[in-house]
Amino acid sequence: MASKSETLPALTGADTIEPAWRVSTSLASARPGEVLLLDEHGQVMGGQAMRRQQVAAWAAVGGVAGVGVIAVAALAGPLVGLISGGVFAGMMWRQTRAWRRAREALVLASAGRRDEALAAVERLEHGRVAEPLRPFLFYLKGKLEWQRGNFDAALALYDRAIGTVGPRRRRAMYWVCAFDRAQLLAVMGKVDAARTARADLEGAPRGDYFALELALTDLVIAFAADDLGLLPADEELFEWAKVALGCSRFGTNLVLLAWALGGRNELDMEKLLLREAAPRLTTEFLRESFPRLATWYEERRVAVGADRDDDPDEL
């Protein structure tokens, strides 16, 4: 769990300070304002792998030296922002300015500065941008519109992003978009469509980030359908919870796991998950992006006493 000293200034009220480009080296340590570097299997790249890919080129020239790397902002489930390394390697020199602006929008989004990030994306859209950058802009704008509660606009943008990268299905960029789209359909109440989209995700690689996204997708669909029978056995849910609790982010995952395990009478675990979710929801805009879950969370955490620091049973 990140402390205030570990987060960007934007999260402590200094919104006029531009957030810096910072890279996290693991899924567990990802904090607001940081990005994760993923390989094509959806695996977060550690220090040695990043050095092999010469990741320092991101900060130096606004490009990516390693083909096949993508960057994902460390936001709440689903995670926000993605950039195809192969795309930016090819446009490193001729599109440096546009890439820098896209990178700034990505970091603003990750820091929870949603409206500023959206404005930055819209300014970028109106300028001269190479076509390979367009899918990323569709994706990031879609995510930001989702966070604003504009579900139809977000879905249309995801469809444009996926339509652009669809022919290259094996690329990580396609799968990041596909995970988000399936989850959004469920949030919109289009459960049958979400389940159809979920079936397509069976073909996704199983790196640690993609495994987290697949679990999140199943949880979102089950909650939207109000059907715990759609989820695996309790043992697997506990494994999902163990992974999520080991991370500094992903509060939505914890809330959904609290709903699932509480619904299966694991009440102590439900309370723990609800308590641990609160500091992880800082940049997730849950009320706008998932209103029904937000209502359940706010009511349930009070009902079970997860909103209190002290457990009366321990006094």
The domain segmentation of the chain, as residue ranges, is 21-314
> Given this model, what pLDDT does residue 126 score?
84
Answer for the pair 107, 19: CB distance below 8 angstroms, yes or no: yes
Question: Roughly what angle, to the nearest 10 degrees, separates helices 172-187 and 151-165?
Answer: 160
Residues 21-314, CATH architecture = Alpha Horseshoe (1.25)
Q: Which residue has the higher pLDDT, 226 or 42?
A: 226
Which of 92-96, 132-136, 230-234, 262-266 has the least mean pLDDT?
Answer: 92-96
Q: Tell me the pLDDT of the chain averaged across its residues.
A: 79
- pLDDT bracket for residue 98 (50, 70, 90): confident
Tens-digit pLDDT profile for residues 66-94? 334 455 554 433 333 344 444 444 444 44
Tens-digit pLDDT profile for residues 188-216? 999 999 999 999 999 999 999 999 999 99
CA distance 261 to 269: 7
Tokens describing residue 118? 């959206």
> Given this model, what pLDDT does residue 170 score?
59
> Given this model, what pLDDT does residue 127 score?
78
Residue 233, Cβ density class (10 Å: 0-12 exposed, 13-18 middle, ≥19 buried)? exposed
- pLDDT bracket for residue 55 (50, 70, 90): very low
> Given this model, what pLDDT does residue 57 score?
40
> Given this model, what pLDDT does residue 52 score?
55
> Given this model, what pLDDT does residue 24 score?
78
Tokens describing residue 234? 């309790």
CA distance 157 to 181: 10
- Indicate if the alpha-carbon torsion angle 265, 186, 204, 134 is positive or negative: negative
pLDDT of residue 48 exceeding 70, the answer is: no
State the amino acid at position 99 in one-letter form: W
